[in-house]
Every structure is written in structure tokens, then in C-alpha cells.
């Protein structure tokens, strides 16, 4: 399996080839839409007003959100893997987490 940097680069290339939007504000709007679709899928876990939950549909929506997150990062030359390493594993490692107590 490819690492995040390779996946991010491939996403950038495919999005360019397909002529997808590159404006960061438009990407953010699309990302917000995808996050809403994730919520809609998760709502199926408890709401009796919708079809049954389908893990494959949730997987597709999470993938769509990830693609747009990579696209947004690429527009600002942010390597997503490095950003996660820096923020989540380094900076956040020094914060006190009350939930871990």
C-alpha cells in the first residue's frame, strides 16, 4: 500500500486530469458536503426513518472526504502525512489529556 504522500500526489494528479475544482473555498464547501454525507450514513445506525446502515456506503463517503482533504492540503503545499506527524503525534503529545486520566 502506498504511503500518504504518494496517495496525496496521485489524488492531485487525477483531480487535475479530471478538471476538478482547485479553488480552496470550493474544495472546503465540497468537503463540508461530504462530511454531511458521512453523518447521514451514521444516522442510519439509530434512526428508524432510513434504510439500514451499510458499511460500504460509509467507506465511500469517508474516502470522498479524505480525497477532498488531500486536495485542500495540496492547494497550500501541505504534505498531509507530515502535518499529522507534527500536530497529532508531536505537538499534541505534550498536552494533558484529561480523558486519559
Instruction: Determine the Cα–Cα distance for residues 101 and 91; give it in Å rounded to an integer.
Output: 19
> In percent, how much of the chain has pLDDT > 70?
99
Please, which pLDDT band fits residue 95 given cuts at 50, 70 and 90?
confident
The full set of domain ranges for the chain reads 4-93
Query: Among 59, 73, 89, which Cα is nearest to 8's?
Result: 73
pLDDT at position 31 is 98
- Residue 48's pLDDT band (cuts 50, 70, 90): very high
Average pLDDT across the chain, whole number = 95
Measured between alpha carbons, how far is 61 from 23 in angstroms, rounded to an integer?
A: 21
User: Per residue in 55-81, pLDDT tens?
Assistant: 999 999 999 999 999 999 999 999 999
Instruction: Return the ∠ at Cα 76 (arms to 70 and 80), rounded to 5°.
Output: 40
CATH architecture of 4-93: Orthogonal Bundle (1.10)
Residue 2 has pLDDT above 90, yes or no: no
pTM over 0.85: yes
Amino acid at each position: 500500500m502506498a504511503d500518504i504522500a504518494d496517495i496525496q500526489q496521485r489524488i492531485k494528479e487525477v483531480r487535475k486530469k479530471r478538471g476538478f475544482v482547485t479553488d480552496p473555498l470550493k474544495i472546503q464547501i465540497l468537503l463540508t458536503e461530504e462530511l454531511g454525507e458521512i453523518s447521514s450514513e451514521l444516522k442510519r445506525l439509530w434512526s428508524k426513518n432510513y434504510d439500514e446502515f451499510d458499511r460500504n456506503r460509509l467507506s465511500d463517503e469517508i474516502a470522498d472526504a479524505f480525497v477532498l482533504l488531500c486536495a485542500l492540503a495540496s492547494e497550500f503545499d501541505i504534505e498531509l502525512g507530515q502535518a499529522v506527524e507534527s500536530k497529532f503525534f508531536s505537538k499534541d503529545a505534550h498536552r494533558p489529556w484529561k480523558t486519559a486520566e
